[in-house]
Structure 1
Amino acid sequence: MSLKRAWAVCGVALGMGWLAASGAEVGTRDAAEAGRVMAASEEGREAMRRFRIPAGWRVDLVAAEPHLANPVAFAFDEDERIYVAETFRHGGGVLDIRGRSGWPSAGYRARLGGEARLDREARQRLSEELLDADLALRTVEDRERMLRGYFLENVPSLERYSDRVKRITRGPDGRATGSTVFADGFRTLVDGIGSGVLARGGEVWYANIPHLWRLRDTDGDGVADERTSLHHGYGVRVGFLGHDLHGLCFGPDGRLYFSIGDRGASVMTREGVRLDVPDTGAVFRCDPDGANLEVFATGLRNPQELAFDAWGNLWTGDNNSDGGDQARWLYVVEGGDYGWHIGWQFIESPNARGPWNSEGMWRPGDAERVGYLIPPLANIGAGPSGLTYGAGTGLPEGWAGRFFMVDFRGGPSGIWSIGVRPKGAGYALTDAEQIIWNALPTDVELGPDGGLYWSDWVEGWGTTGKGRIYRAYDPEVVGRPEVLDTRRWLGAELRGRGSVELLGLLGHADLRVRQRAQFALADRGEVGALRAAAERAGGGWARLHGIWGLGQVGRRQPGVLAVLMPLLGDGEAEVRAQAAKMLGEARHRAAGAALESLLGDPEARPRFFAALALGRMGRVEAGPGVLTMLRANGDADAYLRHAGATALAGILGEDELAALAQDASVAVRRAAVVALRRLASPGLAAFVADGEASVVLEAARAIHDLPVEGALPALAGLLGKEVMEEALERRVLGAALRVGGWEQARALAGHAARGTAVERTRVEALRHLGAFDAPSGRDPVTGLWRPAAWRDADAAREMARRALEERFEALLTAGPEGVQSEAIGASGRLGLRGWEGRLARLAGDVGVGVGARLAALRVLGEWRDESLTGLMPLLLEDGNEAVRAEALRWQARLGLGDPLVPIREILVRGTLRERQAAFGSLAGVRGAAAESLLVEWLNRGAAGELERELILDAIEAGRSRDGAAVREALSRWEARLEGWAPLVLHGGDAGAGRRVFYEKAEVQCVRCHRAGGDGGVVGPDLMGLGASKTREYLLQSITDPNAVVAEGYENVMVETRDGREFAGTVQGETDQTLILNTLEEGRVTLQKAEITGRWKGLSGMPEGLTEMLTLREMRDLIEFMAGLTGEAGAKE
């Protein structure tokens, strides 16, 4: 959960809850302070005392407010000036779909009849409408139209603040001496958050949705006077705040690489090609001037930063979805699909995040079984953010070649050191450790003068108007000659240097120097020098940079690429691999035969890059060699599988790929499926009857999840097969719904009635049948916006009705309760008339499960069936509380008899749940008598005569009415209430609270906490909380998290009389002692009499959660947490 991802939870300022004033300015939580920058203070230096750094290291404060504020990312230029991407639109203009409970504007709500007419059901429908609208967006222009349509008079408030780039100059001691606003004015409705910055050669690239900008300061005054949009179209949806455009870095090929989160993109390239990746995060690359833009990899959620290693491999840390999954450490390869898309985010049932979780797509081991995606190496951290690479100098021995990744957690956070080693065509993790901690970094860079620099958010999740740049370093290392030499060359002007000198620099100890020299030679077209480096046996790093430099020149002058062809037979495997990579990316077809020979190379990496190259150039003759490579691999190496499948997609036609369904090798058949998936080919239908279950499932993933319309009937035809794993079965059911014919309707009904099938999928089949005439635009398996093709709704409803009727009696008599309930619900949606008497008998049958009885009652109520007249008195006296409450609701809604009679009785003598339901029913009864009764109970509440569990229900009933007497009574009562506590501390539904905890996307408690089961590790396990804490404590921990911090999570710094300083978390405290768990010395016990200063850090628990919850949800959540009475670590 990175900084930029978690910002929304602290309140985009829109999720105000239904009790918020409808006229409040939308999108400007803390708007008056959103643009502030705090004055200088000593806070930045004081904070250094709590940092944990490696032994012997030092920390310097390089810059602080007012030189910078709210830093998201930063970069150095050749003069060691620092460019900082600052955000002021977070909390001041950029929205988050999780905040939609407070959307849209008051003006739009007025069109719907005003706040009083938006009951809970209406608000839920509006929330779903907004989510559907966001998921349906395909372009930035779509997003702008949506926002203007829903926000009306609030649009100006969303364009008030601008993100900006700040330039910081430094003195000889490395500390800030001045700063300028290098660029601002990024405040349109669709702008932000500005999350990436990169400087080189007098140019600054700035990543700020919807643009990738190039900025130039031509007159040297520290302010950009030229700005060019290189591309437009990033961020097609509102999505999650912080899932932005970022990750700017140069690759070894001289191209600019950058990433987008799952807000998606739809970009028209300069060459006239539309690049559409609207539903997922991706990595792009282009020339420095924006030309030749292409998608490099997809299937990412929010890859904040990118970094290349010394071998030209691209890496990132990708954030988890707060649904029990974990962040991923990824080797990013060309054409790779890493499995994530936005649809997974909003799936709540039958399992949170759908197949993303149930099929383990984020787990290193499980992901390898999903053929189309590239698995992660490991799960590291909780909030991957900044990322840099140990380029060779400036750090202690053993640290070169390691990655340094920021882990932003909102509370104590820091930087990981990550090591990898080659494994086949890919890599494996060697180790990962926290090296800098107790800070709040957002980005990290290896400094030109050595050591690690990081930008610090200072505190919490929201903007504070503060920001710092720190440098941590080993003083024994940064003064070494090789570090000073690196610094000199990083700042040197290379344009006038001779070829021989630059050639020598290609072997420098530091990757950054080598790359500068390579780019200088390539820019000048120095083919001779680059060739000399590439061909020099034993030339080490210089050989690789020579190859990459020749690739750069070869993109401009294709004839140069012939120089690389002999290297395909070189004795060094990495030279062969990199030569294949450069020739393939340039589509140098003359190298085809030589590349084919590499498919049998003894080393995996040459095979990998050769296969990708052959696929990219479409060399048909290479088909047999690729198949041989796939058979030899036997699906053992996921990277070779990817390369082989990618090659097949570029080499063979769809019919040839479909014919591979007869191949004896399972590895070949799976690769063929993945290749056909890349082509979205109906040829996938040839694999749905495969004898190998993994091949069938892979085909189903492609056919259903994309979808491939032409192959859906074949997939739907599997329905009725007795033995089928759930991952396949759900896609087969979805295919049947999407095809939507008579055979599919009958098959769905048949599956629902099949006693050997899993109950979850039987229920799902009935849901599909009930929606047969008008399926949701949201796919039930993937969660993506995938509206089915137009169908005749009347004809489809009739087919579904007939199919259901054939099985209806069997479903009612033989099905488990969940199946019975769903079958009854489907009958209501489809209008299955003629069964009213059967449903009435079922509703009144005390021997039937309560779920089925309630479903029957609801259907009869929706139909306004006359049987309810005689049935209602019996149901109102039923022995089941839920039945009585539902009967009361329908009596009031339908006006059967005088609904006030049972309501009066229940309000006095009913159970708690009945009385809560009675207030809800009373809210729906119109007339003077109902208002009089409501006033009576509001007056009782004001007099303190109403049980605490009923206060919220009574107030909600009062707020739903417009009558003057009701308003007056309500105002008197509300004036006596003290805050929220009386409304939400008691009376909640623990089951509903559990759903808020685990499933509500707006707050996502589970992203940081566990409750005895799955969840995050950032915050404490909440199991046992109900036994040790009061409900008042629970409420305060939500509404004011910094007032109460769980034991073991309160961060403090203390100073003792003898001048020692300690920073850590409080493990225990008495009147005499304070026990801290410190990062340097472990557990220490301090005498309070010796403590001369104590400073409390902020909680990592985000503020603003109350803006994301209704009062009813708050009450339910507290009820759930109060019931967590087991021991920590135990299952719920």
Structure 2
Amino acid sequence: MLRFSLITPLACLALPLAVLAVDDKPTGSPDSAGGLQPFDRKAEPGIAPASQEGTQVLKQLGLPAGMKADLWAAEPELANPVALSVDEKGRVFVAETHQLGSSVLDIRNYMFMLEDDLACRTVEDRIAMCKKHFGEKFADLEKEEDFIRLMEDRDHDGKADFASLYARGFNHAEDGIPAGVLARQGTVWATIIPNLWRFDGTNDKGEAVTKKSLSYGYGVRFGYTGHDMHGLILGPDGRLYFSIGDRAANVQLPDGRRIENVDSGAVFRCEQDGSKLEIIHWGLRNPQELAFDDHGNLFTGDNDFDYGDTERLVYVVEGGDSGWRVGYQHPPMGKERVPWKSEQIWMSFKSSQEKYNGVPNPKVNEDLGVRPAAYLPPVSNIGDGPSGLLFDTGTGISPQFRQHFLLCHSKGSYAKSEIRAFTLKEDGASFELGETKPFLQFIHSPDLDLAPDGSVYVLDWAETMSKTAKGRIFRVYDPSVLADPLTLETKKYLEEGMHRRSLSELVKLLAHADRRVRMEAEFALAWAGPGGIGSLERAAADRALSPDARLARLGRLHAIWGLGILGRKNSEVCRSLPALLKDADSEVRAQVAKVLGDVRYGDAAGALTIRLQDDTPRVQYFAAQALGKLKAKQAVTGIIELIKQNNNKDAYLRHACVMALYGICVKREGFQPSSKQLAESAFDADMMGILNTGIKSSNEPGVGLAMTLVARRLHEEIGTLMVAGIYNDSFDKDAHKAVRLETARAITEDRAWDRLNLFEQAQHGVGMYEPIIDTLTTRTLYSWFLLRNRDGIEETGEAAQSKRAGWLASVATYKADRPEANQNRLDALTYLGEWATPQTRNRFTGLSFTFPWKPRPPDGATNALKEDWDGIMHPQQASEVRVAAIAAVRKLKADSFAPKMAAIVKDNTQPAELRLAALEALGDWQNVAALNEAITAAQESGDASLRRATLQLLPKVDAERAVTVLESTLNGDDTAAKREAMVVLGTLPAGRADALIAEQVDKLIAGKVKPTGMLEVIETAKRRENGEVKAKLQQYLQSLPQTRSAAAFPYLLAGGDTSAGKKIFFEHTAAQCMRCHKVGNKGSEVGPALDGVSTKHPREYLLEAVLFPNNNIAPGFEMTMVTTKDGKSYGGMVRKETDTEIQLSAPVPNAPVDTVKKADIQTRSPGISAMPEIMQQVLTQRELRDLVAFLASLK
């Protein structure tokens, strides 16, 4: 599916340039007051007319050797295609969106409701939020409609000639975009938030006959566009699998239980009728397509969070947690300290993105030993924009891609997007990356699928990430493969189906070369009655099922899985399988163990326990997993022994053991305790004792850590008992540091607020405190802060509050000569400053609290700061710590500190930043005498920044004097001070202020204002109501060139704040610069790297690149399409252009170059930048100026 990585608010509106010049706030700015953005939403979708673009794109495709491509369909037959599925008849079902960005919203364009969005826990919450913020405009969200389109090539000429709207009506406010579709034997499933849909039958108009929601509750928030439901695939176990991004889910089951995973993306599975829905893997950000390999292993590509991490290939396993939480996207502590990054949760230490992309001598990601053990590492870091994914089935595509995965990388432009092929190889209980190479280049594809005839159908979204009203389907194939008898045989079997074939033929087909045929034979045997069961039993044990040893093995696996399908209804069907746990083939043993667990075949517990000592980690993994499902208490000793042997070396094997112990502990599957009374009866008492003993007393760190991870999964009160043991007994044991760290994470991350007191129990007094910037210390400090108020848990007295505030203040004073403790000090002071502020989200995870936090009196923090003030402000303390202390008392509104602040301002020996912070604090308080005293001292200071700061504060003590000083400043030589003076003038009442502002606009018109101060004059003037000021400003704006060039914006070229621009580049939620560009080692390579950009281009070029990216597309990123007068089409990257000719080629190494004479060109379509022209909408003028300043600093 398409990874919508660039937002496009109002990108389709042509705003007059003068509007940008007058308006301070950008339309749709993250800071705007609210309301639904004004798109032209229509019921009838806009679809582009037919053109030659698809043909031109076809000619520039970078194809593998020996393969060809045809244009199978193009606009206006389809538009904005997100996903596709090819059924056994070769019919193509396409998921199409027309709501993207306009009716299906992206929270980056609606930041005024970010906190509400993060707090949503149901689809109903999201709808209520829309009604709250949009009022009567809410109805506009239900105008546009999305579809599932059916397309066919009925005359078999290689092009689609029939199209219908197979399913429609997806235009409700709760609907997301159609992002997943799967077609098989007359049934079509579709993932469209908030439903998993099933359609059956097709009438003569090409429409679905029946439509049914199989489950509801997906998409509890808007989040980021594209983080939808994806990945529909049928597993070899006959179940339906699909994914969702961190728009998350809260699904009500028929039995009253809920599957509630509201903080991350996940992979789900259910039976084909929607029953037995379960979540199998979570902690994902935006997993898209899913793919099974020949051994039934499931994989997905997950997307990065756009700040120094990279995308990941995830091995999807039962109970797996990859560690992402939606709050990480908007982290309270900033993106540098968000655990996702600082604790390396995203990182693979086996394979870097460089290795995946084929870079020679790729770097290896360094393991700093800080990754939480609760989260499974990815198989590999991979390229940007992973979306569509498939695994070779055995007969199609091309022999050069046998046993390869094909993964679409959607990066916003043809130049950088591609489909990449890779292999995997087993590594312990998991996998590692093997070979990687290109499959298809110069294609912006969200999805692909393998047709029955062996060809690959590939979607083309067209250039850019926004809606294009265009779309194509290319058919990529190897002619020799299409003509191969085995391929033709596969096509015949798939088209005809299996329902009329004999049992003996079906058994033979279990070992067919194509996985699709094997699966259909497996399913047919599973539902063939007693004869089918017997056939499956014999096939599972038959090592000679095929002359080809590999296919014989695969046939046996399908027989085992077929028995598993029936075993889920009656486990006795699998009674023959335990004997195969002794089979010589390790993969047979592994899959037998897996199936025996799936069907809950209790009699296999003994044989499975023996397999814990198998010589193959995969067998050990599935044996442990199965024993947990069987709740086999007799296997606990063996599981613990396996944990010891593993000794934390294989994270996946440890995970299987954790899931085993967890399964044995929990009496009922899927049971989540909701009260202490229920909790006491929900868990096996003997197991609880074993876990407690293991956690407290084990001298094996691996055992203690594994049991800690089990405890983390035992929710609420039972988890509290486990964690208490961990903390009280392990606090002083260095060997158990990992146990303590995992406990700290569990308490502060898992909404376990009733466990916070455990930090106090573990604290041995402030005298024991040692500064260490690690997970334990930072979370301990946070627990003290949270314990100031645990409303809804238990109320604590003021004495306790003062004690905790005192601890924090003591940390801020601890050994001032130890710089490694500065971050601890800064955290402690931050918490003290926020002591009286109700919290809405967890500082580490960014997740919303599920209960209210009452405001607290500031007294505890204020008194603690007073008591330790001298130590905190000691000259040995770092300046940043002392500034943070001032910020804390300022936030607490502790004006009793006014004399101390005034003293700091007057002290010329103090650092300038400290004096400035103290002066600004005084400006917030009502102590006029202290403020006046400080202003006088600051004005006499030799520090220009301190003098400038007084300009804003003067009006508070003497308005008339302020105007006089401002006028004097405007007539002076200090450019920075003049800019500040203009800003302050804009806040003063009419009268002299208006006269001074009009005078400055006159200077602007006369060209007498330096470029660095132009914007301040414009911003100040446009906020005034004075008619003369307005007229003069309008005169100036109308004098500017009304062109798409930097000349129209001279006031944005100079005067920006480089530091502020850097922050915008790396952190601005809507601008998302580093999502596509790289500076140093941070960012992405979707767009050109920007190191040294200012040495190549002037500021005018940089500004135009930001505002009008299509004006000048960077070399290597411009794609051009031309049609000559004789009807020929050419397309590709512009390699060279002169006055008489243009040279084009595909963006692949050694691609042939087409030279076209300009005199022969009939039409030329200019290349389109992948960067949308949205910066005028998402950044203020000041932010634009700051961004240009930062870019200009990149030498």
TM-score, scaled to structure 1 = 0.92
Q: Distance in 2 between matches of 1:580 and 1:481?
A: 37
**1:796-835 map, 5 Å:** 797-814=858-875, 815-835=877-897
Secondary structure of the structure 1 residue equivalent to 2:290? strand
**1:68-147 map, 5 Å:** 68-100=78-110, 127=112, 130-147=113-130
Residue 701 of structure 2: aligned partner: 666
Residue 728 of structure 1: aligned partner: 776
Instruction: Tell whether the 8 Å contact from 2:26 to 2:1178 is kept in structure 1 after alignment.
Output: no
Q: 1:173 to 1:1103 in 2, by over 3 A?
A: same
Instruction: Tell whether the 8 Å contact from 1:260 to 1:281 is kept in structure 2 after alignment.
Output: yes
> Deviation string for 1:463-491 (max 9, x for gaps)?
11111110111111111000001111111
Residue 636 of structure 1: aligned partner: 649
Secondary structure of the structure 1 residue equivalent to 2:101? coil
Instruction: Tell whether the 8 Å contact from 1:12 to 1:96 is kept in structure 2 after alignment.
Output: no
> Deviation string for 1:304-352 (max 9, x for gaps)?
1001111011001111111111010111111111111111112275543
Instruction: Tell whether the 8 Å contact from 1:27 to 1:93 is kept in structure 2 after alignment.
Output: no
Q: CA deviation at 1:23?
A: 11
Q: 1:175 to 1:40 in 2, by over 3 A?
A: same
Residue 359 of structure 2: aligned partner: none
AA partner of residue 725 (structure 2) = A
Question: Which has the higher mean CA deviation after the structures are superposed, 898-907 or 817-826?
Answer: 898-907
Secondary structure of the structure 2 residue equivalent to 1:288? coil
Instruction: Tell whether the 8 Å contact from 1:726 to 1:761 is kept in structure 2 after alignment.
Output: no
Unaligned runs of 5+ residues in structure 2 are 350-366, 546-551, 666-686, 789-800, 1043-1047
Residue 1088 of structure 2: aligned partner: 1020
AA partner of residue 658 (structure 1) = N
Residue 113 of structure 1: aligned partner: none
> Deviation string for 1:945-995 (max 9, x for gaps)?
332222222222233334444444443333334455133222111110000
Instruction: Tell whether the 8 Å contact from 1:596 to 1:610 is kept in structure 2 after alignment.
Output: yes
Instruction: Tell whether the 8 Å contact from 1:27 to 1:158 is kept in structure 2 after alignment.
Output: no
Instruction: Tell whether the 8 Å contact from 1:28 to 1:93 is kept in structure 2 after alignment.
Output: no
Q: CA deviation at 1:619?
A: 2.0
Q: CA deviation at 1:713?
A: 2.7
Q: Distance in 2 between matches of 1:1050 and 1:62?
A: 25
Question: Which has the higher mean CA deviation after the structures are superposed, 278-287 or 972-981?
Answer: 972-981
Instruction: Tell whether the 8 Å contact from 1:247 to 1:259 is kept in structure 2 after alignment.
Output: yes
Q: Distance in 2 between matches of 1:700 and 1:1074?
A: 63
> Deviation string for 1:358-401 (max 9, x for gaps)?
12111112498431111112111110010011010013325222
Q: 1:23 to 1:584 in 2, by over 3 A?
A: closer
Q: Distance in 2 between matches of 1:932 and 1:153?
A: 43
Q: Distance in 1 between matches of 2:738 and 2:869?
A: 35
Q: Distance in 1 between matches of 2:1123 and 2:1152?
A: 13
Residue 361 of structure 2: aligned partner: none
Aligned-residue CA RMSD in angstroms? 2.8
Q: CA deviation at 1:1035?
A: 1.7
Q: 1:418 to 1:10 in 2, by over 3 A?
A: farther
Match of 2:504 among 500, 507, 532: 500
Instruction: Tell whether the 8 Å contact from 2:424 to 2:434 is kept in structure 1 after alignment.
Output: yes
Q: Distance in 2 between matches of 1:685 and 1:587?
A: 33
Q: CA deviation at 1:1077?
A: 7.3
AA partner of residue 823 (structure 2) = R
Instruction: Tell whether the 8 Å contact from 1:1076 to 1:1083 is kept in structure 2 after alignment.
Output: no
Match of 1:676 among 711, 730, 753: 711
Secondary structure of the structure 2 residue equivalent to 1:583? helix
Residue 538 of structure 2: aligned partner: 532
Residue 447 of structure 2: aligned partner: 443
Secondary structure of the structure 1 residue equivalent to 2:442? strand
> Deviation string for 1:653-711 (max 9, x for gaps)?
44532322221111111111211111241222433414233332222222211132343
Q: Distance in 2 between matches of 1:472 and 1:852?
A: 65
Q: CA deviation at 1:1069?
A: 5.5
**1:960-975 map, 5 Å:** 960-975=1023-1038
Q: Is residue 1048 of structure 1 aligned with residue 1119 of structure 2? A: no
AA partner of residue 691 (structure 1) = D
Match of 2:1180 among 1103, 1110, 1121: 1110
Question: Which has the higher mean CA deviation after the structures are superposed, 464-473 or 726-735?
Answer: 726-735
**1:48-63 map, 5 Å:** 48-63=58-73
Q: CA deviation at 1:745?
A: 1.6
Q: Distance in 2 between matches of 1:408 and 1:994?
A: 26
Q: CA deviation at 1:353?
A: 6.3
**1:885-896 map, 5 Å:** 885-893=948-956, 895=958
Q: Distance in 2 between matches of 1:36 and 1:367?
A: 51
Instruction: Tell whether the 8 Å contact from 2:1109 to 2:1169 is kept in structure 1 after alignment.
Output: yes
Q: 1:1085 to 1:581 in 2, by over 3 A?
A: closer
Question: Which has the higher mean CA deviation after the structures are superposed, 848-857 or 72-81?
Answer: 848-857
**1:238-317 map, 5 Å:** 238-317=222-301
Residue 355 of structure 2: aligned partner: none
> Deviation string for 1:730-755 (max 9, x for gaps)?
22222221122333222211111122
Match of 1:656 among 654, 677, 690: 690
Secondary structure of the structure 2 residue equivalent to 1:303? coil
Q: Distance in 2 between matches of 1:317 and 1:178?
A: 33
Q: Distance in 1 between matches of 2:189 and 2:1157?
A: 55
Secondary structure of the structure 2 residue equivalent to 1:439? coil
Q: Distance in 1 between matches of 2:503 and 2:1152?
A: 60
**1:872-887 map, 5 Å:** 872-887=935-950
Q: 1:1097 to 1:792 in 2, by over 3 A?
A: closer
Secondary structure of the structure 1 residue equivalent to 2:970? helix
Q: Distance in 2 between matches of 1:855 and 1:255?
A: 62
Q: Distance in 2 between matches of 1:257 and 1:59?
A: 30
Match of 1:843 among 875, 881, 905: 905
Q: Is residue 707 of structure 1 aligned with residue 751 of structure 2? A: yes
**1:5-24 map, 5 Å:** 5-8=5-8, 18-20=25-27
Q: Distance in 1 between matches of 2:703 and 2:243?
A: 32
Residue 104 of structure 1: aligned partner: none
Q: 1:2 to 1:1016 in 2, by over 3 A?
A: farther
Residues matched between the structures, number: 1096
Residue 750 of structure 1: aligned partner: 810
Q: Distance in 2 between matches of 1:25 and 1:279?
A: 26
Q: Distance in 2 between matches of 1:485 and 1:723?
A: 69
TM-score, scaled to structure 2 = 0.87
% identical aligned pairs? 37
Instruction: Tell whether the 8 Å contact from 2:519 to 2:558 is kept in structure 1 after alignment.
Output: yes
Q: Distance in 2 between matches of 1:813 and 1:353?
A: 27
Q: Distance in 2 between matches of 1:673 and 1:10?
A: 49
> Deviation string for 1:1011-1062 (max 9, x for gaps)?
2231112222211111221222112212221221112322346799999998
AA partner of residue 573 (structure 1) = S
Residue 358 of structure 2: aligned partner: none
Question: Which has the higher mean CA deviation after the structures are superposed, 933-942 or 495-504?
Answer: 933-942
Q: 1:18 to 1:27 in 2, by over 3 A?
A: same
Q: Is residue 1097 of structure 1 aligned with residue 1167 of structure 2? A: yes
Q: CA deviation at 1:918?
A: 1.7
Q: CA deviation at 1:790?
A: 3.8
Instruction: Tell whether the 8 Å contact from 1:861 to 1:890 is kept in structure 2 after alignment.
Output: yes
**1:181-200 map, 5 Å:** 181-200=165-184
Instruction: Tell whether the 8 Å contact from 2:409 to 2:445 is kept in structure 1 after alignment.
Output: yes
AA partner of residue 645 (structure 2) = A
Question: Which has the higher mean CA deviation after the structures are superposed, 835-844 or 624-633?
Answer: 835-844
AA partner of residue 867 (structure 2) = E
> Deviation string for 1:822-850 (max 9, x for gaps)?
10111122244443222101123332222
Secondary structure of the structure 1 residue equivalent to 2:48? coil
AA partner of residue 1037 (structure 1) = A
Q: Is residue 482 of structure 1 aligned with residue 486 of structure 2? A: yes
Q: Is residue 515 of structure 1 aligned with residue 575 of structure 2? A: no
Q: Distance in 2 between matches of 1:845 and 1:1091?
A: 76
Q: Is residue 694 of structure 1 aligned with residue 738 of structure 2? A: yes
Q: 1:1059 to 1:975 in 2, by over 3 A?
A: closer
Q: 1:44 to 1:1061 in 2, by over 3 A?
A: closer
Q: CA deviation at 1:45?
A: 1.4
Residue 3 of structure 1: aligned partner: 3
Secondary structure of the structure 1 residue equivalent to 2:447? strand
Q: CA deviation at 1:1085?
A: 8.1
Unaligned runs of 5+ residues in structure 1 are 102-126, 1126-1132
> Deviation string for 1:242-279 (max 9, x for gaps)?
10011100111111100000111111122321111111
